């Protein structure tokens, strides 16, 4: 049996070279007690680094669910749509 996977949807992914997710102010992250971004993101994009005192953003893992647009209690994450042709695309066939 060939082609089953072809009939199911496939996900194509191109990594943009520029992050579409930006932490506005790392000082705000430093003061943030809950670090909710490290919990609500289903793709584990955000990570808090205790030594460097900063939140890292693994934007290439983002599946564009949109949660972080509203999830940060400090509204400290800027979210910009990836440029055309980048990001995740769902293809049905
Ligand atoms: S939840 Fe917001 S303020 Fe807190 S660490 Fe994450 S991005 Fe920074
Ligand atoms: S859009 Fe969703 S997957 Fe992407 S960084 Fe935000 S919470 Fe994570």
| pLDDT of residue 61 exceeding 70 | yes
Q: Which pair of tokens denotes residue 28? A: 């705000």
CATH number of the domain enclosing 55: 3.30.70.20
Under the banding of pLDDT at 50, 70 and 90, the label for residue 80 is confident
The answer, yes or no, to whether any atom of ligand 2 lies below 6 A from the CB of 42, is yes
Cα separation, 43 vs 45, whole angstroms: 5
Q: How are beta strands 10-14 and 87-91 bridged, if at all? A: antiparallel
Looking up tokens 């430093």 gives 30
Pocket of ligand 1 (CB under 6 A): 23, 28-29, 32, 35-37, 46, 55, 72, 74, 76-77
29 inside domain: yes
Is residue 39 included in any domain, yes or no? Answer: yes
- Domain boundaries, position 65: 20-91
How many domains, in total, are found in the chain? 1
- Condensed to tens digits (0 to 9), the pLDDT of residues 36-50 reads 999 999 999 999 999
7-38: string of b/e by CB count within 10 Å (b at 16+)?
Answer: eeeeeeeeeeeebbbebeeeeebeebeeebbe
26, 29, 57, best to mutate for ligand 1 pocket (most atoms within 8 Å of CB)? 29
Question: Is 8 within a domain?
Answer: no
For residue 1, pLDDT over 60 is answered with no
Local confidence band at 6 (pLDDT 50, 70, 90 cut-offs): low
- The answer to the question of residue 2 being in a domain is no
Q: Is the pTM of this model over 0.85?
A: no
């Amino acid at each position: 049996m060939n082609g089953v996977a072809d009939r199911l949807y496939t996900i194509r992914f191109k990594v943009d070279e520029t992050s579409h997710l930006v932490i506005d102010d790392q000082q705000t992250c430093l003061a943030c007690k809950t670090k909710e971004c490290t919990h609500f993101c289903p793709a584990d994009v955000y990570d808090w680094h205790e030594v460097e005192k900063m939140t890292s953003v693994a934007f290439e893992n983002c599946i564009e669910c949109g949660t972080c647009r509203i999830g940060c209690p400090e509204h400290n994450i800027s979210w910009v749509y990836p440029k055309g042709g980048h990001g995740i695309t769902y293809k049905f066939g």
